[in-house]
Amino acid sequence: MEPLIIQRLRTEAPSPRQQEFFLSKARYVAYGGARGGGKSWAMRRKMVLLAMRTPCLRLLLLRRTLQELRENHLLPLQSELFGYAVYKKEERSFLFPNGSRLTLGYCDADSDLLQYQGAEYDVIGFEEATHFKEEWITFISTSLRTTKQDFRPRIYFTCNPGGVGHAYIKRLFVDRCYREGEREEDYAFIPALVYDNRVLMEADPDYVHRLEALPEHKRRAHLYGDWNVYEGQVFEELRNDPAHYEDRHFTHVIAPFQPPEHWRMYRSFDFGYAKPFSVGWWAKDGDGRLYRVLELYGCAQNCANVGVRWTPEEIFREIARLEREHPYLRGRRITGVADPAIWDASRGEAIAETAERCGVYFERGDNRRIAGWMQLHNRLAFDRNGVPMLYVFRTCREFLRTLPTLQYSRTQPEDVDSELEDHIADETRYLCMLVPMLPEREKSPQTVRVFDPLSEKPVTYVTRRQERNYK
């Protein structure tokens, strides 16, 4: 009997978007965006076609967890490759008649990376790529190499908005913002919507209606593949609208300007060595509104969430230099706030003491997390005129890169996932707690003395509103 895979290849009709994915010649190809676009099938079929076409190819197909791998790829492949490719259970791989080998893998923790150290693959596929941390993707990608003269190694990604790798995938394939060593021509993004998946639309027409019925933000992410909003995003209210940089309405990001001399200046600080440190400088206007005017972020080049390993003294000397020389800060009195942890002297000189030796001073911050996040949410809220209580200069790129990517913790639903790049958010939180927004209290009715000639009592105490009835 003819193997199932041969039967299916004769009858399958990929969607136009899936065909585009299959035919792309880019070194890095991402496919997806919205839910229901046929990503899993496209990835699985591309891997099988490559293995069948090119002899002795080494392919690796990954999902984050073993359970996901089993349900989405192992079981379907066992079914359709039966009688054609031999499954090696101990290696979790399929051996094709032409010598190609398709290995199924997972990576759910740093320790899982060890199984890929020293391995070599001609093709790698990351299914649901935004579920993988950036450092996991970059490490596993170092296994991409080939000795074949007539074959170009490549990596395939399928993805939806959201997940720990959201910022990395969005930067490369949606924003197309490249760092040193990354070439724009190597990357291709093929967006797909549920409407592109004819098979699903015919088999389950109600699926699209379920997506259309979602709340606005989820609908934008799941139905339309909007990478600016996604499920689990903490600060989904953050808006960056270049059309309003000058008038400052319904945007948090604005054009830079010289802070007036009478505005108070602040410095917020989150220490890091192996992880990035973060310094933010802020101005506060007469209405209590905060403006992030400048930042110093100690992140290694081309490595998200990896610190530059500056000593405390190096950090504070650079802070002192900027406050002497930068036109926003020069000659200004600056109030600093930092995590109370920098006053810990149990292992030698406290970091705060090092700061003071360099002429940089801080107040102890209130590091209550949930309360701090709520203060930040309160400041990001727009009033009826579209004016928030916190603005960010468009030049503060690291704030704008990291804050939108933060997600809620899976174990503490009201808290930010601290495994993500939250250092800028933390120092912002310290400042928000230093200058909190207090809820407006309903004022007690003001009473006045009123003389009523028709009353037997000579004086009556009434509220201002009641006073109108006496006139």
Residue 249 has pLDDT above 60, yes or no: yes
pLDDT of residue 471: 46
Residues of the chain with CATH 3.40.50.300: 4-222
Q: Terminus-to-terminus CA distance in the chain, angstroms?
A: 101
Tens digits of residue pLDDT in 105-142: 999 999 999 999 989 999 999 999 999 999 999 999 99
pLDDT of residue 221: 82
Residues of the chain with CATH 3.30.420.280: 242-434
Q: What is the DSSP string of 115-153?
A: GGTT--BSEEEETTGGGS-HHHHHHHHTTB----TT---
Rounded to the nearest angstrom, the gap between the alpha carbon of residue 320 and the centroid of all alpha carbons in its chain is 31
Tens digits of residue pLDDT in 266-310: 999 999 999 999 999 999 999 999 999 999 999 998 788 999 999
- What share of the chain in percent tops pLDDT 70? 93
Rounded Cα–Cα distance for residues 43 and 211 (Å): 23
DSSP single-letter state for residue 252: S
CATH fold group of domain 242-434: Nucleotidyltransferase; domain 5 (3.30.420)
Residue 326 has pLDDT above 80, yes or no: yes
4-222 maps to CATH 3.90.550.10: no
Tens digits of residue pLDDT in 165-192: 998 999 999 999 888 889 999 999 999 8
284 membership: H or E segment, kind and range = strand 278-284
